Amino acid sequence: MHPVKRIEIIVNSVELGKILDGLKQAEISGYLLLRNVAGHGFRGGSEDLDMTMLDNVYVIAFCVPDKIKRTVEIIRPILNKFGGSCYISDATEIRSMRCIASL
């Protein structure tokens, strides 16, 4: 087992390419992408989800803790310019480092 950082990004699907390019630039190659997500966040927003529920995507990625600063430096300006949310938390990867190195 070893520590990793979990990165969760919710953004309009129009900006997905920019987010994925940013993750690639930060050398984060793996991610999970969920399309057509809807919800009601802390910031409030429109009660009319018919217009927005098909426009949002949810990206989940994991990285070693050493990469998180660079990732934030790349992703933050995208979110500041185009909107969206990003959450970073601690997680534990249960596969051994030897298994990851062989992938």
Q: Given this model, what pLDDT does residue 95 score?
A: 77
Q: Given this model, what pLDDT does residue 92 score?
A: 94
Please state, in angstroms and as integers, the Cα–Cα distance from residue 26 to each residue in 53, 60, 95, following that order: 29, 14, 22
Q: Given this model, what pLDDT does residue 49 score?
A: 46
Question: Could you tell me the mean pLDDT of each successive run of 10 residues in the chain, 103 residues long?
Answer: 94 94 94 88 52 77 95 96 94 72 46
Query: What gap in Å lies between CA 89 and CA 101, rounded to an integer?
Result: 23
Q: What is the CATH number of domain 2-101?
A: 3.30.70.120
Decide if 84 contacts 41 (C-beta within 8 A).
no
Q: Given this model, what pLDDT does residue 41 score?
A: 63
Domain extent listing, the chain: 2-101
Q: What is residue 97's three-state secondary structure?
A: helix
Q: Given this model, what pLDDT does residue 48 score?
A: 47
